[in-house]
Amino acid sequence: MSWVEEAKRRAAEEAVQHVEDGSIVGLGSGSTAAYAIRLLGERLRRGELKTLLGVPTSLQAATEAVEAGIPLTTLEEHPAVDVAIDGADQLDGRLNLIKGGGGALLREKIVASCSKLYVIVADERKLARRLGEGCPIPLEVHPMAVKPLLLRLREMGAKASVRMGGGKVGPVVTENGNLIVDAHFGPLEDPEGLEGRLRGIPGILETGLFLGYADVAYIGTKAGVRRLEASWRRR
């Protein structure tokens, strides 16, 4: 196992300790969150946790949970989530995030907004001084709005393009039937201001800027795990 995979697992090992017996757990998407899902399954099998219900943020997360033996539920049944564990494409020292590399940003943000505790797991490569350094902002957009939206983003100074599928013909289609536009703005001076401008554009259904959501992050390094806490609390 490479140091990166070891770092991801170490971060996930710390994160799953926040999950108590009987919890409703938001299950994030991506390779690092997958480690957390598998570890939760191991805790169930060992009897450390007697009961647990997972709210998956994607088909990938749901598949991982089924394979790990985690029973699934929905926000319709449990609209309040005790703790969610998710990954990030990039995070800064304030625990603001860019997410959406896996195309699940809309469902991930919905689950994050319903969570009493939102825990991020990542390896140290994802830390940045400023959001946007070498990382695009994914946007989930309505297919009807793509052309005018691309023009609008370019007027705002972004290099923007529709994300194309790997191993399939055509663009990536989200589980909600929408498309993903990746917008490169470069290092962000004012993430909150940009978030507001983006959300004001018709056709953008959600942005990959997760500002003010994360409570704690576990960052796997070559030597161990760093714990970062937000200086504010959402609740």
Share of the chain above pLDDT 70, in %: 98
Domains of the chain: 3-127+211-223 (3.40.50.1360), 137-207 (3.30.70.260)
Q: Which two tokens stand for residue 229?
A: 């806490």
pLDDT digits (tens, 9 = 90+) for 142-187: 999 999 999 999 999 999 999 998 877 789 999 999 999 999 999 9
Bridge partner list, 27: 56, 85
Residue in this structure with the two tokens 């990959």, named with its chain if needed: 208
Q: Which residue has the tokens 């507001």?
A: 196
pTM: 0.95
**C-alpha to C-alpha distance for 183 and 157, rounded to whole angstroms:** 9
pLDDT value for 169: 79
Amino acid 165: pLDDT: 87
Distance between CA atoms of residues 40 and 45, nearest Å: 9
Average pLDDT of the chain, as a whole number? 96
pLDDT of residue 157: 96
User: Which residue of the set 14, 64, 108, 140 is catalytic?
Assistant: 108
- Whether the per-residue pLDDT at 85 is higher than 70: the answer is yes
Please report which confidence band the pLDDT of residue 58 belongs to, taking 50, 70 and 90 as the band edges: very high
pLDDT, position 233: 54
Distance CA 86, CA 26 (A): 8
Q: What is the mean pLDDT of residues 4-15?
A: 96
Report CA 216 to chain centroid distance, whole Å: 13
Beta-carbon count within 10 A of 186 CB: 14
CB 213 within 8 A of CB 108: no
Question: Is the pLDDT reported for residue 235 higher than 90?
Answer: no
Q: What is the pLDDT of residue 199?
A: 94
Active site residue 108: yes
